[in-house]
Amino acid sequence: MALKLPAHLTYKTAVALLPPSSITSPIEAVRSVHDKNFKRWPPHINLIYPFLASPLETSDSNVPRLGQAIQARLEKAISGIRPFQVALNADPPGTFTHSKTSKTVWLGPVPDDKIKQLQADLQAEFAECDSDKRSFMPHLSVGQARTDKVAEQVRNEISKGVAEFNNHQDAAAPRSLNWFVDKVFVIERKGFHGRFTVVGSVDLKPIQQLS
């Protein structure tokens, strides 16, 4: 059960990294079968969740957009981080064990130092978003399992799927998905059973654009 949040926070918004659609087909093939959150969440790595309630404002043209104050804070927080390359590692996938009958299989970004720094900078700026006290471990969830056997099945499926995606003919193909991280997204859902959609984004600035 989700913890009760202070009024300024909500489980209906998040700051996250979203992998490009060009690499998500093997992820979504496994998530569609094994991830209970498949219909509500896109593939993602959360950076801050839960996030601020009511992040949008209405523009002059009456079109909702990310609030200027939040946009400015996001830009400030990530101003020192340049775009970077990671690989989502499926060799092997990781597993969180929550209890004897609750496990989550996930892909971890390699290397993870830039994402950890990005999250730390965002957390420092949005210090009021402090309901999650756990140490940050960047991960992209691909499915849940009730037993070790099913968790192993999910791990095998995502590992094989990534290898086949990289090279259909080569059994020794790399079991990772390359991802150039150049944006941070704010996502929101309208109800607790709705699907998260992008409501704003901030670009990581290349070195020549840094002042």
Per-residue pLDDT at 156 exceeds 90: yes
Per-residue pLDDT at 169 exceeds 50: no
The DSSP code sequence of the chain is -PPPPPTTEETTEEEEE---GGG-HHHHHHHHHH-TTTTT--S-EEEESSEES--EEE-TTS-EEE-HHHHHHHHHHTTT---EEEEEEEEEEEEEEEETTEEEEEEEEES-HHHHHHHHHHHHHTTT-----SPP---EEEEEESSHHHHHHHHHHHHHHHHHHH-TT-TT---EEEEEE-EEEEEE-SSTTSPPEEEEEEEPPPGGG--
Q: Which two tokens stand for residue 17?
A: 């990294």
**Are 186 and 55 spatial neighbours (Cβ–Cβ below 8 Å)?**
yes
Cα separation of 194 and 155, whole Å? 27
pLDDT, tens digit, 9 for 90 and up, residues 42-90: 999 999 999 999 888 877 666 788 999 999 999 999 999 999 999 999 9
What's the mean pLDDT in 172-193?
A: 91
Local confidence band at 2 (pLDDT 50, 70, 90 cut-offs):
low
User: What pLDDT sits at residue 57?
Assistant: 84
Structural domains for the chain = 9-203 (3.90.1140.10)
- The greatest distance separating any two alpha carbons of the chain, rounded to the nearest whole angstrom, comes to 55
Mean residue pLDDT across the chain: 93
